Amino acid sequence: MLRRKSIVKLAEDECLPEVQRILRERLSQKSVQTQVYGLDSQRRHLLDLMRRCVSMGESNSALVIGPRGSGKTMLLQSVLDEVKSDKIAKENLLQVNLNGLLQTDDRIALKEITRQLQLENTLGDKVFGSFAATLAFLLEALKSGDKTSQPILFVLDEFDLFAHHKNQTLLYNLFDISQSAQTPIAVIGLTCRLDVIELLEKRVKSRFSHRQIHIFSSLTFEEYKEVFVEILSLPKTFPERKFMQQWNQHVKELSEETMTVDVLQRLYHSDKNIRALKSFLLLPVCKLTPDHCQLESTDFLESSQYLTMDSKAAMLHEYQKFVQRKGHSIQCYEKPVVLKAFEHLQALELLKPADGGQRSQKEYRPMTLLVDATQINDALQKYPNCPTEVKQWNTQEVHA
């Protein structure tokens, strides 16, 4: 076990701020980890596709499909890092990144393609009759003097949103070009929609390769623990080598402690993707201070309890404590009375069933509130006989 005195001494030598900087940067959502865990077969499939495009000029298209946080971006970045490790491939490969949340129509998407390929001056004020003609001109402009073309990678994040563009013109043209032998391009779509193929028009489907790479992690618990240790370990390039060795040894020992293992097992069985693990580790890392200069099992237990807290249950528990206080004017009513009052709120159209009211018993129907928090707050402030306790409770909830 790492001795506390030696850790404190090294922390006073400004090691701890550097530790926090490294770990926070590693855990932030902006940091895309390129080490792939439990996705070996999917990685080989995508790597083979990319290599053929870059080295052999073979065009293709594929969809990477998986839940949010499952590692789609991480997988693609890992493949690109390996492809670009070859100097020639790195210099030749052009990459265009589009996002369905940002490029909301084909005109905006075309403008972004022009910007990323640095062809604004080439396009100039030219007027084209169609989207296809404009895109063809841009790709033709990239050809060198011997009429060969650089391979281009189009990454379409939130791919399903591009399917909502008018006539799906962008998708049709990209897939159409990927089937031709003129310009080597790879079109990679990232999406969490399992039914995304059903969103495509018939003419778009006919030009899509129908390659689908599904992201389902096969990470074992032992591998999951190894990822835990790797994320929290300091790199070999850390300035203080002795501190780095002691810190890494402590992290390894910590991963074998009973409390830590129990917490990690609960997290693994509920959500074993790496993004969830990073979110879980953020609180313990942020708690590091000169007075709390090493990670403890209790830090992970606290983080687990915080992440698994049910906000609605906590709110109801808080309300229950409130109505049980002495001296308040709020009364408790029987269930039939409450249900009748609830039906009255529906009759006033302040609430409505989220499912149309046909799929479940009235006691268990999901409801949609038709007024927002601001309207409720204004109404309570203007209501002359509103109990003070209700006003105070509303104020607490708004600030919360």
- pLDDT over 50 (residue 12): no
C-alpha atoms less than 13 angstroms from C-alpha of 312 in its C-beta half-sphere: 0
Average pLDDT over all residues of the chain: 82
Give the per-residue pLDDT at 62.
93
On the question of pLDDT at 391 being above 50, the answer is yes
Residue ranges of alpha helices (H) inside the chain are: 4-12, 15-27, 40-56, 72-83, 87-92, 106-116, 120-123, 131-141, 159-162, 169-179, 202-205, 221-232, 241-254, 258-270, 274-286, 297-307, 311-323, 335-347, 373-382, 388-399
Confidence at residue 364, expressed as pLDDT on a 0 to 100 scale: 76
**What's the pLDDT tens digit per position in 235-294?**
888 888 888 898 999 999 999 999 999 999 998 888 888 888 888 998 999 888 888 888
Task: Read off φ and ψ for residue 61, nearest 5 degrees.
Answer: -145, 150
* φ, ψ of residue 216 in degrees (nearest 5): -130, 110
- pLDDT value of residue 143: 61
Q: What is the dihedral of CA 63, 65, 69, 70, to 10 degrees?
A: -110
Q: Which residues of 173-197 are buried (b: 16+ CB within 10 A; e: fewer)?
A: bbbbbbeeeebbbbbbbbbbeeebe
